[in-house]
Structure 1
Amino acid sequence: MEGTSTGDGTALAVRAADFASSKDHKKENFPVASVLLKAEHRAPVMAFYRFARAADDIADHATASAAEKLAGLKAMRASLSGSGDEPTARALHKVMAERDLDPIHAHDLLDAFEQDVTVNRYADWDALIAYCRKSAVPVGRYVLDVHGEDRACWPASDALCAALQIINHLQDCGKDYRAIDRVYIPAETFAATGARIEDLGAAHASPALRTAIIILAERTQGLLRTSAPFAFAIRDRRLAAEVAIIQRLAESLVKRLLTRDPLSERVHHGALETATLVMGAIAGRFLRKAPA
């Protein structure tokens, strides 16, 4: 892996391309800048996604050292401010400057990826939510800013984004532990259920681990109840439809986590299941009143 020298002989990779994975927006669990969005809004949303994808690839790289990862993220932050040459960060910097968008969302996201490099365990639910405020909440706020939506929508958006993040954590809990030794299930939940971190490395979840996952899924349902009115508060009808779809997909996934073992069973939706949920969400958004 190419890089620069720190002076103490440690090679530091500074290009996000060195860490790139094969994952793109089509492989995400939830829609990213779908065709529902107006064309003028899809481009800046995709710029943010590509930036986030590049930073995530750095933080999750299986073999790079912590120093290499932090150097790569530092290079992205410099480019985000216009003084570096990392392409996804430079592109996002240009978009934000042209549209007068607040760069705080992108910087918060980098804070989260730096935390991923240095923190691989969480003490309790509050610590997990604090992480989501940096890793997930900025995404929703950025999208709302792109659309010129009222920031009064932020609390509902924050709840939905945190829920999506935790759903992803629970779906990938075994893979994250085995591949990068990262565990988002809080220590307090392990202690309350008698589950062990090592249970995440098994082919099937132990009864105690299943209980831990169910506890977190139920708390995530609480976040989704908070976000339920979100789509009805959005002025842009096309963005509202996309948010309604994401809400419906999230509600379905969290129900699956209550009954399926993510270590041994498929939790994510198949194509037909997704299509059915999408149509139902669109109908619900435009044919029904907002939930009380």
Structure 2
Amino acid sequence: MTAAGASKTAADENFPVGSWLLPAALRPHVAAFYAFARAADDVADDPGLDAAAKLASLDRMARGLVEDGEEGVAGRLRRNLAASGVPVDHALALLDAFRQDAVQQRYDDWAGLMAYCDLSAAPVGRFLLDLHGEARSLWPAADALCAALQVLNHLQDCGRDRRDLDRVYLPLDWMAAAGAAIADLDAPSTGPGLRRVLDRCLDGTDALLDRARPLAGRLRSRRLAMETAVIQRIAERLAAALRRGDPLARRVALGKPAYLRAAAGGLARVAFDRLAPGRPVAMAAR
């Protein structure tokens, strides 16, 4: 439920991207949304473009979402949105996140990072909820899950983001309080100060995951509930792995056995929730 990274395929993602768990009829719409997100992310991360050129390209993508004649990823998404009845607002919000990436490399505090996640991550979850006809009262829980996924991606890639893009998604006030410096991200391993910052970010991520945990059980769509529960469980396992691992020394990720165990645990949780006494059994199949 988070925005796709630049130049990533579905196989490169930490979390399921329009997987077989979702209804087959809706997967093309999900694929169009993720293709659009990847293309916009590639623009924002292109080292050959200056900020003005990036913003101009993103503005063209925005026009393609609302004007006929665009045949690229924006036009494809526009047609999918029209067919599915999902508003264009979520895609436009994503473009605002990529515009921010084009001009902003630092975040003063956690609140600023969460405001960025409101643009870069929350629209993905909201799109999926709208696509499945879910209640918008579930947006806050979905927003929390998507923000957690976004922060986990930033922590995994904190060294690479600094090296390749000179972007730092760690709150600067927390870094100052821990005695950490931006240059610490250039080291081959994580020092004590930076470790404290990472752990504080993981504390915030754990709080987001706690807020998101009820989401899967509240969804009408059984298939979306399964995918959401799998994502939740994988995120919890990845957060724990980042507590133990050093993202500067090597990229911290779940191996295939751990990934499959986490996915199985998520599916088991949905099955248990659906069969729990007192829970309505008339759930939407899609």
TM over 0.5, yes or no? yes
Alignment identity in percent? 48
2:95 counterpart of 1:110: yes
Question: Which of the residues 184, 200, 206 maps onto 1:199?
Answer: 184
- Judge conservation of contact 1:36–1:241 (CA < 8 Å) in 2: yes
Separation in structure 1 between the aligned mates of residue 74 and residue 60 of structure 2, nearest angstrom? 9
Structure 1 CA distance, aligned partners of 2:69 and 2:165?
28
Query: Distance in 2 between the 1:249 and 1:231 partners?
Result: 14
Q: In the superposition, relative to structure 1, how do residues 86 and 262 fare at CA in structure 2: closer, same or farther (>3 Å)?
A: farther
Q: Which amino acid aligns with 1:214?
A: D
Contact 1:75 1:86 in 2 (8 A): no
AA aligned to 2:199 is I
Tell whether 2:200 aligns with 1:242: no
Cα distance, 1:281 vs structure 2: 1.1
Matched, 1:190 2:147: no
User: Using the alignment, how far apart are the partners of 1:190 and 1:136 within structure 2?
Assistant: 23
AA partner of residue 124 (structure 2): V
Amino acid aligned to 1:129: M
> Any idea what the Cα deviations from partners look like across 1:31-54, whole Å, max 9, x if unmatched?
000001111111111110000010
Instruction: Supply the distance in 2 between the matched residues of 1:130 and 1:287 (Cα, whole angstroms).
Output: 35
Cα offset for 1:176?
Answer: 0.2
State the match for 1:23 in structure 2: 8
TM-aligned CA deviation for residue 95 of structure 1: 1.1
- Structure 1 residues without counterparts, runs of 5 or longer: 1-19
Mark the CA change 1:167 to 1:84 in structure 2 (over 3 Å): closer, same or farther: farther
Q: How many angstroms apart in 1 are the aligned matches of 2:126 and 2:66?
A: 19
Distance 1:207 1:172 in 2: 18
SS at match of 2:246: coil
2:244 and 2:13 map into 1 onto residues whose CA distance is 22
Q: How does 1:32-71 map to 2 (within 5 A)?
A: 32-71=17-56
Shift of 1:100: 2.0
Kept after mapping to 1: 8 A contact 2:6/2:42: yes
Letter of the 1:257 counterpart: L
SS at match of 1:39: coil
1:119-146 superposed Cα distances (whole Å, 9 cap, x missing partner): 1100101000000000000000000100
Q: Which residue of 2 aligns with 1:122?
A: 107
Q: Deviations over 1:178-231 (max 9, x none)?
A: 000000101111111000011111111111101100010011100000000000
Q: How many Å apart are 1:287 and its aligned residue?
A: 1.6
Say which SS state the counterpart of residue 164 (structure 1) adopts. Answer: helix
Aligned counterparts of 1:266 and 1:116: Cα–Cα separation in 2: 22
Check conservation: 2:65, 2:75, Cα contact below 8 A. Answer: yes
User: What's the RMSD between the two structures over aligned residues?
Assistant: 1.5
Hey, which bits of structure 1, 4+ residues long, moved more than 3 A?
Answer: none
Counterpart residue identity of residue 179, structure 1: D
The one-letter amino acid of 2:103's match is T
Question: Pairwise mapping of residues 127-206 of structure 1 onto structure 2 (< 5 A)?
Answer: 127-206=112-191
Which runs of no fewer than 5 residues in structure 2 stay unpaired?
A: 278-286
**Distance apart, 1:64 and its partner CA:** 2.0
C-alpha change, 1:199 and 1:282, in structure 2 (3 Å) is: same
**What secondary structure sits across from 2:252 in the alignment?**
coil
Tell me the TM-score normalized by structure 2: 0.91
Counterpart-to-counterpart distance in 2, 1:22 and 1:110: 16
Q: CA deviation at 1:266?
A: 3.7
1:285 to partner: Cα distance: 1.5
Q: TM-score, normalised by structure 1?
A: 0.90
Preserved CA contact (<8 Å) 2:7 2:38: no
Distance 1:191 1:43 in 2: 45
1:154-174 CA distance string (max 9 Å, x none): 111000000000000111000
The alignment covers a number of residue pairs equal to: 271
**1:61 is paired with a residue of what secondary structure?**
coil
State the 1:63 CA deviation. 2.7
| Residues 279-290 of structure 1: pairs in structure 2 closer than 5 A | 279-288=264-273
- Say if 1:21 and 1:217 are closer, same or farther in 2 by CA, change over 3 A: closer
Q: Do 1:189 and 1:212's aligned partners in 2 also have CA atoms closer than 8 Å? A: yes
Q: Please name the residue that 1:14 is paired with.
A: none
Q: Report the AA paired with residue 157 of structure 1.
A: A
SS at match of 2:25: helix
